[in-house]
Structure 1
Amino acid sequence: MSTATNNLKAWWSWRMAAQLVFLVLLAILAAIVWRNLGSNLQQRGITLDFGFLNSQASFNIREAPIDFKPTDTYWRALIVGLLNSFKVMAIAIVSATFVGIGIGVARLSNNWLLRQVGLVYVEVLRNTPLLLQLFFWYAAVFLSLPKPPDSIDVWGIASFNNEGVSVPILQMSVSSEFCALVIGLTLYSAAFIAEIVRGGILAIAKGQWEAAKALGLKPGTTLRLIIFPQAMRVIIPPLTSQYLNIAKNSSLAIAVGYEDIYAISSTTFNQTGRPVQIVLLLMATYLTISLIISLVMNLINRRVQIRER
């Protein structure tokens, strides 16, 4: 027993030492890269400071959730872009989840027509590039709507024109760029989520369905109260990846002219000529968002897992 214990301690010691050496080498490599980057930029007369962000932006943002004027700083412009990105990500994640669950359940329906509609939806949207879908919704759908004031009114609830959608009850209007981006992200991501949901439901043993049927439960009740809660253990891990994809794919907003963090960063780079600082800010932003999404989903995943006693 003592020999086995000593061998285990030795193995742990070697493992910790190897990890420590790896971290030291990684730190040295990062320091070398940073030093070379700073040296090369200094030779070209470029510094790595972020003081330029306090300069006047001198450009306008059409869809800003907070007050913004061209006389404001680049910092405030980037904050506006970040808030716009958050808005797109949050709405797309929620809407794609609901649509994906609906399509995934439809793919398992006893109704032949409903199954085929779900199959066509998944195969068409999942195998078509997202960028192409965004162009379709923006150019072929929203830009083809009539110009204001000749808007399309829907029972006084909402009005549609090529500039966007207006909902008088909510005192809210959104641009056509925002609508095209959210719809494109939602429908594209929902196709992948639908297959995740379908796979999660199929992973549950048929005995669960049979037991619920023997108790007299209806199929809808069985799915909602018995099958789906168990399927969540299988669904959540791959669902996390899709949420991360939605967050990263939102950067395609620049393709339809929506002013998110990526689009505003591109404008800032073009005006200031500070590519390194802008890229570092973007990397840190998307990394932080991804880590937050992963943290939240991991916490949810822990709550739905079976706890052994």
Structure 2
Amino acid sequence: MASITDLSRSFVVNGVELNPSYIGENQVAGWASATILMLFLLALNEFGNIIKPRNLNGYATSLFGILSVLVVQLMISILDFTPTEGLPFLIIGIPVLASYLLLLGDMPDILSVRASRGQYLRSGIPTGIFIFLSLFLTSTPMVLRQNMVEIFSASIVILAIVAWAIIKSESGNPREQDRRFSALVFMISIPAILFVTMRVLLLLNNPDTVTRERWNLDWSFMNDLNSFIINVWPVDAVFGEDTRWRFYIAAIVNSARVTLLSIVLCTILGIFIGVMRLSSNKLASSMATVYVEVFRNLPLAVLLFLIATQLGETLPLFREEANLNGWIYYSNKGIWTLTTETWRLGLFLSLLIFVWITFRIMGRDGVDDSNRAVLQRSGIWGATTVLGIALMVQGATTPEVVKPIPESPASWSVIESTAFEITPMFTAMVMGLTLFTASVVAEIVRGSIQSLPRGQVEAAVSLALTPYQRLRLVILPQALRSMIPLLNSQYMNVWKNSSLAIIVAYSDVFYVIFVMMNNVGKLIPLFILLLITYQAGSLLISGFMNAYNARVTRVRI
């Protein structure tokens, strides 16, 4: 209530607005109405009827909500609602009235003129009372005006208790239960979300100059040149020439490539360890159990630190100029390998995609899983891989080393365009994320396999399938139903855990934005940018995994 009053109360002296928080009644009511309307429409869930309208009754309540918001905005523009009582009463009271109407569910019948007299009365009387109080609040008892927040809060609590009691006792129409549950969620969530909306508006227009400057969501400083160096690939970000936006994009690419490679490796390693845990070989199962218990219970930050320190001690010093036949140079500063032309790599990937699509088309009517067919497919995949590698090696260039001072052991360097560099920081991040996440993936695989009926495995054995065929054709396809949702969470954790790259000095998006915070001081805009980045990455991973999950299972609850 205080936020609404501060934002809508005006102090004008000699034509100068003295309230720095003032944004006007219309804007305050507009943001509040938009928040309430959004949750109201989500609770109604009539979007399907709006997109494909069949009859007005299917989306009449949504139209009523939209028109009500427009009427409220018009009333605020025409009538004089006081910022201390009238406007707060309207903004806080509308969610309570909406909760009551959602709980009753009479609006479709009322709007289609099919309601009974009881429905008209129980919906119309409270609505009429609320409208009357909103228009003539000054003539109501002082106790109502002074304690409106407490009264409305108690009303929401009572409505929520009633809704929960009705849901528990109701065993009839599932549609009615869904509607009442949506109303209950609306009652619980609307106070918190409306409070957050008003608080954010107040922070953006805070009377304190320092706070208002901190919450000034202006990212124009990102157009300035960056003032520090990061190690990036494939996006070039040059110190002193590129803007902070360029460095931000390069950092996102750094985080993405660490995440994608770690997801692939932890999936492969996790499946292998998970199957090993179920092995009848005591040595194999014991080793897998030890791996899971060690890495699952080790904090990722500690694991990254241990890997980074061990890489620094294990790899040779930079002055030693260690290499493998001149093809690969390696030291504690990095690893430089063969590089090839981009088009050759693209052609290799195109060959793999072509073979995969060909097998998919050939397997539409069923897949031949005989040993001969499996060997043929494996041979084709192997030949394609060998051909692609040969194609890349043919055009590959070995690292060219220059040593300006021959007598100095640490003066050598690799010409940038002649080699592909893998930094120790990148290696440490991939190893840490892979080892840590694979231990959890292994438990997911083990649990999903053990949840299958034992008769499935016995049936596969009776068909004389080999252990590999049993795993690939019978066990894993069925275990995927329970594995995918859990793997979805772990893959998102890989993306979020990549923020620990600062431990190994890897230039991920968190590290880059953290340094920008120290250089620029725009903490809140940069934190919001960081929040959006990780949220977008998580939603992207979740979207891909949900799409894949829809393919492996059609069961819906």
**The two structures share one fold, judged by TM-score above 0.5:** yes
Displacement of 1:162 after TM fit? 0.3
Look up the match of 1:69: 238
Look up the match of 2:551: 303
Contact 2:311 2:424 in 1 (8 A): no
Contact 1:148 1:161 in 2 (8 A): yes
Q: Deviations over 1:237-257 (max 9, x none)?
A: 111111111111000001110
What number of residue pairs does the alignment pair up?
A: 306
Match status 1:163 vs 2:333: yes
Per mean C-alpha deviation after superposition, the further-off stretch among 263-272 and 109-118 is 109-118
Tell me the distance in 2 between the aligned counterparts of 1:156 and 1:102: 34
Match status 1:31 vs 2:197: yes
* Alpha-carbon distance change, 277 to 118 in structure 1, aligned in 2, over 3 angstroms: same
Which structure has more relative contact order (CA 8 Å, sep 6+)? It is 1
Contact 2:254 2:507 in 1 (8 A): yes
Contact 1:157 1:169 in 2 (8 A): no
Look up the match of 2:55: none
Tell me the distance in 1 between the aligned counterparts of 2:327 and 2:229: 30
The partner residue of 1:97 within 267, 276, 295 is: 267
Look up the match of 2:44: none
* Alpha-carbon distance change, 148 to 287 in structure 1, aligned in 2, over 3 angstroms: same
Q: Deviations over 1:234-292 (max 9, x none)?
A: 11111111111111100000111000100000111111100000110011111111111
Tell me the distance in 2 between the aligned counterparts of 1:198 and 1:14: 39
Q: Deviations over 1:85-137 (max 9, x none)?
A: 11111001111100101111111112221111111111111111111111111
Match status 1:190 vs 2:190: no
* Alpha-carbon distance change, 212 to 81 in structure 1, aligned in 2, over 3 angstroms: same
Tell me the distance in 2 between the aligned counterparts of 1:233 and 1:103: 19
Q: Deviations over 1:167-206 (max 9, x none)?
A: 2155421110010011010011001100100111111111
Displacement of 1:13 after TM fit? 6.3
Match status 1:218 vs 2:463: no
Per mean C-alpha deviation after superposition, the further-off stretch among 34-43 and 278-287 is 34-43
* Alpha-carbon distance change, 156 to 217 in structure 1, aligned in 2, over 3 angstroms: farther
Contact 1:142 1:164 in 2 (8 A): no
Tell me the distance in 1 between the aligned counterparts of 2:173 and 2:464: 58
Larger radius of gyration: 2
Tell me the distance in 1 between the aligned counterparts of 2:475 and 2:179: 46
Look up the match of 1:128: 298
Look up the match of 2:453: 205
Tell me the distance in 2 between the aligned counterparts of 1:50 and 1:195: 43
Q: Deviations over 1:7-66 (max 9, x none)?
A: 888767655555556665455323322123223486116232111111111211223421
Tell me the distance in 1 between the aligned counterparts of 2:174 and 2:315: 71
* Alpha-carbon distance change, 12 to 249 in structure 1, aligned in 2, over 3 angstroms: closer
Q: Percent same amino acid among aligned pairs?
A: 37
Look up the SS of the partner of 1:49 in the other structure.
coil
Tell me the distance in 2 between the aligned counterparts of 1:198 and 1:8: 36
* Alpha-carbon distance change, 178 to 226 in structure 1, aligned in 2, over 3 angstroms: same
Per mean C-alpha deviation after superposition, the further-off stretch among 261-270 and 39-48 is 39-48
Tell me the distance in 2 between the aligned counterparts of 1:104 and 1:8: 40
Tell me the distance in 2 between the aligned counterparts of 1:307 and 1:8: 18
Tell me the distance in 1 between the aligned counterparts of 2:331 and 2:473: 43
* Alpha-carbon distance change, 155 to 190 in structure 1, aligned in 2, over 3 angstroms: farther
* Alpha-carbon distance change, 236 to 254 in structure 1, aligned in 2, over 3 angstroms: same
* Alpha-carbon distance change, 41 to 84 in structure 1, aligned in 2, over 3 angstroms: farther
In structure 1, the gaps of 5 or more residues are: none
TM-score computed with the length of structure 1 as normaliser: 0.90
Look up the match of 1:106: 276
Per mean C-alpha deviation after superposition, the further-off stretch among 15-24 and 139-148 is 15-24
* Alpha-carbon distance change, 166 to 27 in structure 1, aligned in 2, over 3 angstroms: same
Look up the SS of the partner of 1:60 in the other structure.
coil
Superposition pairs of residues 45-56 of structure 1, within 5 angstroms = 46=213, 47-56=216-225
Tell me the distance in 2 between the aligned counterparts of 1:156 and 1:107: 41
Tell me the distance in 2 between the aligned counterparts of 1:203 and 1:239: 16
* Alpha-carbon distance change, 191 to 13 in structure 1, aligned in 2, over 3 angstroms: closer
* Alpha-carbon distance change, 185 to 8 in structure 1, aligned in 2, over 3 angstroms: closer
Q: One-letter code of the match for 1:197?
A: V
In structure 2, the gaps of 5 or more residues are: 1-115, 117-169, 341-418
Contact 1:63 1:175 in 2 (8 A): no
* Alpha-carbon distance change, 12 to 180 in structure 1, aligned in 2, over 3 angstroms: closer
Contact 2:334 2:421 in 1 (8 A): yes
